Amino acid sequence: MAPVVSTVAMIRDQLRRSRLAAGMSQEEYGKRAHYSPSMVSAVELGQTVPNLAYLTRADEVLDTGGLLVSLRELGRRDGEPVWFRPWLEVERVATQLRCFGATMIPGLLQTADYARAVFRLDLGLTAERVEELVAARLERQVILDREHPPQLTAVIDEAALQRFAEGCAGVLAGQLRHLVACARRPHIRVHVLPQAVGLHAGLFGPFILGRTADGSWLGFLDNQTGGTAVDENNEVATLLGRWESLRSDALPRQQSIDLLEEIVKPWI
């Protein structure tokens, strides 16, 4: 069993033990914590992954001394796959982030429903593991809500925005509305690379670039089975060059927002 499953199971078991030690039923605990009995049950059965607000309240009601939030921090570090963790540390200290989405929306801008739909494409993942990955994906996005967030610029191929089909149209519509909302935030820029561009430098695949406080750039490449961190100067320079090419071919900010709204309009 993967470490992240053990961590999540530990949180779930500790929640139940702490509630029982306090002599509370699920209903009584729910009333004190301001959660429904069904929510409490879903968390303890592993049907729902508890978020920070839930565990913070649980620590208060059950008087655990902050244990549950501390366990969650361990789970957060283990939530993303092992190969992705070094890049998470880069994102957490980056002052600027640049990402290119070739076939899907970049992870930092994904909704929970969109991320869930993407993870479910891997038939080897259990439903519980999918929810763990979704929770980790949303936790990763917390950097965008900090008091001093990084400046994020995303270029997304228009093809990734047009994947409407029966069964997933609602998910993509919600995702595009979220993209518009993100694009209007002062520290986020979203640019669409129109299909009319034809062949472009992004056809080599999606990537992310991060600039640290000392001015250096690092990169990360996605692939079918994992990902690769890039810190060699020549390789980083190649990614920066491809980024400049993509950014110059992409639509300006407002035109990109207008196109997003036009694409989603028939599906609202």
What is the pLDDT at residue 48? Answer: 65
What is the pLDDT at residue 4? Answer: 39
How many residues would you count in the chain? 268
50 three-state secondary structure:
coil
Percent of the chain with pLDDT over 90: 50
Q: For strand 151-157 and strand 188-193, is the pairing parallel, antiparallel, or unpaired?
A: parallel
Alpha helices (H) in 80-120, listed in sequence order: 85-93, 112-119
Q: For strand 227-230 and strand 217-222, is the pairing parallel, antiparallel, or unpaired?
A: antiparallel
Domain with CATH 3.30.870 in the chain: 82-267
Residue 77: pLDDT over 80 = no
- Strand ranges for 24-161 from DSSP E: 96-101, 151-157
pLDDT range class, residue 22, cuts 50, 70, 90 = very high
Q: Work out the burial of residue 216: count CB atoms within 10 Å of its CB; fewer than 13 is exposed, 13-18 middle, 19 or more buried.
A: exposed
What is the pLDDT at residue 139? Answer: 86
**Averaged over 5-15, what is the pLDDT?**
74
Cβ-contact 193, 156 below 8 angstroms: yes
Q: Model confidence over 26-50: pLDDT tens digits?
A: 999 999 999 998 889 888 887 666 7
Domain with CATH 1.10.260.40 in the chain: 7-78
**Averaged over 230-236, what is the pLDDT?**
86
Q: What is the CATH number of domain 82-267?
A: 3.30.870
265 three-state secondary structure:
helix
79-93, 133-147, 222-236: least confidently modelled range = 79-93
What is the pLDDT at residue 153? Answer: 97
Q: Model confidence over 103-158: pLDDT tens digits?
A: 899 999 999 999 999 999 899 999 888 888 898 888 889 999 999 999 999 999 99
Higher-confidence position of 10 and 216: 216
What is the pLDDT at residue 76? Answer: 59
**Superfamily in which the 7-78 domain is placed by CATH:** lambda repressor-like DNA-binding domains (1.10.260.40)
How many CB atoms are closer than 10 A to CB 120?
A: 13
Higher-confidence position of 17 and 164: 17
> Furthest-apart CA pair in the chain: how many Å?
65
Q: How far apart are CA 181 and CA 130, in angstroms?
A: 25
Instruction: Name the strand (E) or helix (H) holding 217.
Output: strand 217-222
pLDDT range class, residue 5, cuts 50, 70, 90 = very low
What is the pLDDT at residue 57? Answer: 93
Cβ contacts of 133 within 8 Å, gap of 6 or more: 79, 80, 115, 119, 125
What is the pLDDT at residue 7? Answer: 63
Q: Model confidence over 147-205: pLDDT tens digits?
A: 999 999 999 999 999 887 777 888 999 999 999 999 999 999 999 999 888 788 787 88
